[in-house]
Amino acid sequence: MEVSSESDSPPPASNSFKALLAFYSNYLHNRLRAFSPLSAISVDSSLLRRIANLYGTTRRRSSKTCLPLPLPSVASITYLDRASTITSEGSRIFAVLDDIIDHTLRNLHIVQKNLLFWQSTAEFSNTRKAYFMICQRGPGAFVDGTRQMIHDSLADGAGFQKLYCSASSHISERISVLTSLRYSLATFLAKVYMEVDKSGENLVKDLENSLPSLLVAINEIFLNLEASIGHFHAHRQSGSSVDGSYSIPLILAQLPEVNQEGSQWTDCVIKDAINLIYGNLQKLDSYLSVIVSKHRKPRKLTLYWMRYSCGALGISFCSLWLLRHSKLMGSPDIDNWIKEAKDSTLSFWNDHVEQPILAIRDELFETFRKRQKGVMEREEVQLTADSLHSSMPGT
């Protein structure tokens, strides 16, 4: 079926939403065909379009971040909808780019979270920093820091000054490394976006010819990132406060020399190139996890280990004391104390609550009964007479 030349022109604005849905439906259709074990079974693209029309846009993974790839223009989307079927290996480039962005954003979030902690700690006073160094880095740091401070104080009397300097160096080193990591990852992410945005039109119109150049560019971006952050193992300070040592430097694989314009980029070569990029992404994640773990903020259990330890010791002493006076150890103390407390409570209730209330009740009832019978005491009669005489005038 031939397509008229008018269909190659950009569609009007009213059809932009339909064209976008057609692009996503065709993309999901090709993804399902690529991963289906029975490649002969095709997916009904009209059903996918109905789902797209019902829910708006179809997300590849619901757990992905909401930062999308730079999409091509509406005209290119319409062109892709009319294009031939994309090769299964070539279509994986979209999944590769999504994974690169998702992993980079997650690593940036982890780096930023730890960096904010150290930046806030750097604003503490010297006394607060010294407290952090000794009391909020675990029992091992508490013992070592206390012993070192006592040794320095006895040696030259500068124990606290050295502790302040050590705290400042400890914090500033982590801020420096995490800031450099954040800058490098942000630059890496920006370069990936710029490269995808630059190659977006060509990817849509001619995937087979534009894919090799994109793969080579992505690999170059990975190598640039290696050059910017792979030096942490070599430039570590001599008196670094980082525990342990870096395992291995970041060494990423490089694509072999293949003619980008020739026919050498077969599905097998493209598959190997994409697998190489995935391997570099995994190496990057492993390297970042090691670096961040050595510069991360202390865990909550480490920060408040003294409170938790005191609470655990208090509960342990109370438990041992109760166990010592319980029946399990052959002691009747707890039963006797319970019985004495019960008897004391009953005695207090009877002597100071129940009996006084009953006495007041009986006295009130007796008074009311006497008044109803008209019986009045001599004193009451005299008081009534005196009040009457005092109220009469002229007396």
Q: Hey, what are 26's tokens?
A: 């065709």
Tell me how far apart the alpha carbons of residues 339 and 345 are, in angstroms, rounded to a whole number. 10
C-alpha–C-alpha distance, residues 25 and 48, integer Å = 6
CA-nearest of 93, 86, 90 to 30 is 86
Burial class (CB in 10 A: 0-12, 13-18, 19+), 94: middle
- Lookup: tokens for 377: 């005491």
Is pLDDT above 70 for 247? no
> Where do we find the tokens 């990817």?
203
Q: What is the pLDDT of residues 211-236, one digit of tens each?
A: 788 888 899 999 999 988 877 655 55
Phi, psi of 318 (to 5 degrees): -65, -40
Cα–Cα distance, 195 to 276 (Å, whole number): 18
**Euclidean distance between CA atoms 306 and 237, whole angstroms:** 31
* Strand, coil or helix: 267: helix
- Share above pLDDT 70 across residues of the chain, in percent, rounded to a whole number: 64
Q: Are the beta carbons of 178 and 224 closer than 8 angstroms?
A: no
- Tell me which residue of 71, 87, 81 sits closest to 45, measured CA to CA: 81
pLDDT at 25 over 70: no
Residue range 154-211, pLDDT digits in tens: 888 788 888 899 999 999 999 999 999 999 999 999 999 888 888 777 776 666 777 7
Whole-model pTM? Answer: 0.64
| Cα–Cα distance list, 3 to 7, 8, 9, 82, 211 (Å) | 7, 9, 12, 9, 26
Domain boundaries, the chain: 10-85, 88-303, 344-391
Q: Which tens digits make up the pLDDT trace of 272-298?
A: 888 999 999 999 999 999 899 989 999
